[in-house]
């Protein structure tokens, strides 16, 4: 298998959520959650998608799996265009692409045992039955660091970190190749986060998984991901290899974002870029470059008029900024 074989390709993805109002429920505005996003994920790669609230990173993840229908654009998985195929045709594809959720409490059905939860995908896709299924459930539980006898237990008997392991086991039940991990550690306590991060890193290398890792914690992304894409208000601002993005960020937003993260070392004194103002609303984003309202290098007549394209300014380093 070639290392740079593309597994997931997203082209010009848009997702607008209509806001209806008035007596007749007409659409009065759109939340432009994803506003023209393109990227590729290679086999075995972990792509980190970072951004603040309203950046649309979660929507991108959901849309990739068609848990949310895209407004327009094209999503290709392993060469198959899955953007418009019917639900019936999509179902067998689901074996290959799975999701891990943020909330370890909301993501497990409180009325099903762990065993039932892990067995369900196998039943639906007819991959294992009876004793075979039970064995696989035991194996899955051990794979994520739980014990076989936990299959009989209900979610409420587990702690947050343990539930997250169950969620990971469910995502792995069908041996997927691609996993969207949506903030998988941000709801956990600090000392538990490290356990789950280690587990994910280990699983990725053992099972040769491809990840879309959605997070707002830049430290976690830096630790886990091969490449990183930074989103702001529905667009990708910068997309590069890990060391390049964290080492020489080129987009002013990325620079500000990185400098804003407080580092647990009182001796490190950094020049901090404090962004002015708030993140604008995705209902009515600024024209031109969406970041121009908070950008220090903003040039009137250019940045507020023309939308910058995401271009490759250095090899494998894509930036959407007029000034780079």
Partner 1 sequence: MPEVTSIKKSTEFDLSKEEYSYWGVVWNRFRRHRMAVFGLVILTIIVLFSIITPLISHYEFDTMSLEDRFSPPSSQFLLGTDELGRDVLVRLAYGGRVSLFVAIVASISSLIIGAIIGGISGFFGGWLDNFLMRLVDVLLSIPTFPLLMILAMYFGGSLWNIILIFAILGWMGESRLIRGYFLSIKETEFVEAAFAIGASSRRIIFRHIMPNTLAVLLVSVTLSVGGVILFEAALSYLGLGIQPPTPSWGNMLQRSMEYILGAPTKGGGPPWWLTFYPGLMIFLTALSVNFLGDGLRDALDPRMKM
Partner 2 sequence: MPEYDYLVDVRNLKTFFYTEDGVVPAVDRVSLRIKSGETLGVVGESGCGKSVTSLSIMRLIQEPPGKILEGEIFFKGENLLLKPEEEMRKIRGGDIAMIFQEPMTSLNPVYTVGDQVSEAIILHQGLSKKDAIDKVVQMFKLVGISDAERRVNSYPHQLSGGMRQRVMIAMALSCSPDLLIADEPTTALDVTIQAQILELMKELKGRLGMAIILVTHNLGVVAEMAQNIMVMYAGKVVEYASARDIFKTPQHPYSYGLLYSVPRLDRGKSKEPLLTIEGIVPNPYNMPPGCRFHPRCKFRMDICDKEEPPLTAIENSERSVACWLFIRRGKQDFLSEGVI
- Applying CB under 8 A, the residues found at the interface with partner 2 are 52-53, 159, 161-162, 189-195, 197-198, 201-202, 205, 216-220, 222-226, 242-243, 246, 256-268, 272, 274-275, 277-279
Q: Of 196 and 310, which CB lies nearer to partner 1 in the complex structure?
A: 196
Phi, psi (rounded to 5 degrees) for 40: -125, 150
Give every CB contact of residue 14 below 8 A, 6+ residues apart in sequence: 32, 34, 35, 36, 37, 70, 71, 72, 73
Considering CB distances under 5 to 8 angstroms, the limit depending on partner class, which of partner 1, partner 2, none binds residue 103? partner 1
Q: Of 51 and 104, which CB lies nearer to partner 1 in the complex structure?
A: 104
Give every CB contact of residue 241 below 8 A, 6+ residues apart in sequence: 226, 227, 228, 316, 317
Are 275 and 255 in contact, with CB atoms under 8 Å apart?
no
Cβ of residue 54: shortest distance to partner 1, in angstroms?
Answer: 19
Q: What is the DSSP string of 212-229?
A: EEEES-HHHHHHH-SEEE
Cβ of residue 213: shortest distance to partner 1, in angstroms?
Answer: 16
CA 1/CA 15 separation, integer angstroms = 33
Where on the chain is the footprint of partner 1 (CB under 8 A)?
62, 65, 67, 90-92, 94-95, 98-99, 101-103, 106-112, 120-121, 124-125, 142, 145-147, 150, 152-158, 162, 167, 170, 173-174, 195, 198-199, 202, 206
Q: Which residues of 169-182 are buried (b: 16+ CB within 10 A; e: fewer)?
A: bbbbbbebbbbbbb
Q: Of 92 and 315, which CB lies nearer to partner 1 in the complex structure?
A: 92
Q: Of 20 and 53, which CB lies nearer to partner 2 in the complex structure?
A: 53
Nearest to 184 by CA among 104, 259, 71, 96: 104
Q: Of 168 and 289, which CB lies nearer to partner 1 in the complex structure?
A: 168
Cβ of residue 94: shortest distance to partner 1, in angstroms?
Answer: 4
DSSP designation for 72: E
Considering CB distances under 5 to 8 angstroms, the limit depending on partner class, which of partner 1, partner 2, none binds residue 9? none
Considering CB distances under 5 to 8 angstroms, the limit depending on partner class, which of partner 1, partner 2, none binds residue 249? none
Considering CB distances under 5 to 8 angstroms, the limit depending on partner class, which of partner 2, partner 1, none binds residue 4? none
Considering CB distances under 5 to 8 angstroms, the limit depending on partner class, which of partner 2, partner 1, none binds residue 216? partner 2
Q: Of 93 and 324, which CB lies nearer to partner 1 in the complex structure?
A: 93
CA 95/CA 178 separation, integer angstroms = 9
Cβ of residue 131: shortest distance to partner 1, in angstroms?
Answer: 21
DSSP designation for 141: H
């Amino acid at each position: 298998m070639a290392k740079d074989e593309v597994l997931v390709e997203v082209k010009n993805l848009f997702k607008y959520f209509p806001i209806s109002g008035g007596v007749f429920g007409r659409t009065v505005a759109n939340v432009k959650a994803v506003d023209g996003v393109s990227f590729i994920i290679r086999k075995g790669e972990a792509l980190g998608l970072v951004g603040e609230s309203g950046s649309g990173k979660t929507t991108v993840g959901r849309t990739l799996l068609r848990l949310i229908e895209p407004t327009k654009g094209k999503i290709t998985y392993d060469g198959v265009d899955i953007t418009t195929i019917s639900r019936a045709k999509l179902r067998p594809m689901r074996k290959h692409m799975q999701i891990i959720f943020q909330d370890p409490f909301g993501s497990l059905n409180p009325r099903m045992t762990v065993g039932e939860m892990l067995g369900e995908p196998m039943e639906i896709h007819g991959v294992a039955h009876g004793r075979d299924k039970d064995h696989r459930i035991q194996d899955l539980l051990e794979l994520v660091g739980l014990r076989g006898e936990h299959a009989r237990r209900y979610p409420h008997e587990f702690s947050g970190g343990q539930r997250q392991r169950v969620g990971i086991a469910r995502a792995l039940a069908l041996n997927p190749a691609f996993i969207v991990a949506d903030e998988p550690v941000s709801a956990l306590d600090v000392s538990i986060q490290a356990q789950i991060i280690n587990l994910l890193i280990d699983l990725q290398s053992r099972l040769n998984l491809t990840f879309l890792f959605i997070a707002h914690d830049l430290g976690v992304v830096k630790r886990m991901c091969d490449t990183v894409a930074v989103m702001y208000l529905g667009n990708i601002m910068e997309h590069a290899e890990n060391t390049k993005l964290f080492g020489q960020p080129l987009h002013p937003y990325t620079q500000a974002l990185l400098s804003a993260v407080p580092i647990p070392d009182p001796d490190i004194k950094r020049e901090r870029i404090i962004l002015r103002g708030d993140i604008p609303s995705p209902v009515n984003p600024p024209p031109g470059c969406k970041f121009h309202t908070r950008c220090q290098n903003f040039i009137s007549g250019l940045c507020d008029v023309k939308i910058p394209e995401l271009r490759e300014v250095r090899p494998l380093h894509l930036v959407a900024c007029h000034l780079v």
